[in-house]
Structure 1
Amino acid sequence: MPIHTPPLVIIESPYAGDVEANLAYARAALLDSLNRGEYPFASHLLYTQVLTDADADQRSHGIAAGLAWGAHACLTAAESRPSSAVAGSPRWRRTSTS
């Protein structure tokens, strides 16, 4: 019997700017994806815990690491909310990466 693996999804949403609101939004998107039965990854939620976004070299390193993981994803979920949207109500443009 084949093993069903849920789709791997890269979550792409803003980090800079209103960081707290953007983090809340990214967390909501991560939960939304999990509730869809997907296996999401949001590099900006992970790498910003150990890298400094204001440091250009560290930011580039984090982006490169996120893109490397993205190469293995089936879908990319990119933010498509208007700037006035409320965090916690994700709106996504989903595109196949394969």
Structure 2
Amino acid sequence: MKLVILESPYAGEVERNVAYARAALADCLRRGEAPIASHLLYTQPGVLDDDKPEERALGIEAGLQWGRVAEAAVFYDDLGWSRGMLAAKERHLAEGRPLEVRSLDGWERAAA
């Protein structure tokens, strides 16, 4: 299985964004990939509080550290590009990680 970092929006409409990220996880798995979605993992109750800047930064950095072993970063863009996704894109590019932009059938495109 190909190891990938999954990037999608989290903040804002959290409930919708979590549902979208879960659908993106399922899409990765169907493609034969082993995705990590740190924004779903580290924001669970009792782990980190995304509303606290220092905890948010810790979660982002922890997720990006997976880049050391990931073969690519995959961005799901049906809901648009968040600031976090744009920052992650720059980091992945700076570290030479391949990027892929994807969309999911059945999700309205934010930019449409």
**2:66 aligns to what SS in structure 1?**
helix
Q: Provide the alpha-carbon RMSD of the alignment.
A: 1.7
Segments of 5+ residues of structure 1 without an aligned counterpart are 1-5, 84-94
Please identify the structure whose Cα radius of gyration is greater. 1
Separation in structure 2 between the aligned mates of residue 21 and residue 9 of structure 1, nearest angstrom: 22
Report the identity percentage: 55
Segments of 5+ residues of structure 2 without an aligned counterpart are 81-92, 99-112
Q: Give the structure 2 partner of residue 86 of structure 1.
A: none
Return the match for 1:17 from 9, 12, 16: 12
- Corresponding pairs, count: 82
1:27 maps onto 2:15 in alignment: no
1:33-88, Cα deviation, whole Å (9 max, x unpaired) = 001111011000100011000100000000010000122111111122155xxxxx
- TM-score under structure 1 length normalisation: 0.77
